[in-house]
Amino acid sequence: MRTSLENLNTTIAHSVRGFTDSSNRTLFRRVRYVATVVFPTMYSFLSYDQKDPTSIWAKPKNEIYNQLISDFKDKPLSIFLKKFFSLIEKISNDKENHRQLHETFEIGIKVLKEFYSLYHE
């Protein structure tokens, strides 16, 4: 958990480099990759300093999402998470909307940057 949070900046840089070089037909795959980083990062962030981190990892994703939204109400992390989850839902129904794919990727990177910043405070 700690290693993934400590190395998040490298993961972000790798993702951004890959996205920059993407063609329109690979955009969805790049966005999907960012989502596969965001979801476990949510768990890692909430559990890295817990005595029993497995109790966090046992919870459903929606519960972890709601806890983060509540814990960081009116903070950038909460705002970006809400936007990211909303966009993920939209692109699941329209994988060819390149503008939305770009926006989803951008917000996903902002989420990861917030986690990185908060972890290093």
Amino acid 108 reads: G
Range of the structural domain that residue 37 is part of:
2-119
CB 81 within 8 A of CB 41: no
Nearest to 30 by CA among 78, 84, 102, 79: 102
Say what the pLDDT of residue 96 is.
Answer: 87
Amino acid 34 reads: V
Say what the pLDDT of residue 41 is.
Answer: 97
Q: Measure the CA–CA gap between 66 and 96, rounded to whole angstroms.
A: 29
Say what the pLDDT of residue 2 is.
Answer: 87
What is the CB neighbour count within 10 angstroms for residue 1?
A: 19
- Work out how many domains the chain is built from and give that number: 1
Say what the pLDDT of residue 11 is.
Answer: 94
CB 12 within 8 A of CB 109: yes
Say what the pLDDT of residue 25 is.
Answer: 81
Q: What end-to-end distance do the CA atoms of the chain give, in Å?
A: 16
What radius of gyration, in Å, describes the C-alpha atoms of the chain?
14
What is the full per-residue pLDDT of the chain (121 aa) written as tens digits?
A: 889 999 999 999 999 988 887 787 888 889 999 999 999 999 999 999 999 999 999 999 999 999 999 999 999 999 999 999 999 999 988 888 999 999 999 999 999 999 999 999 8
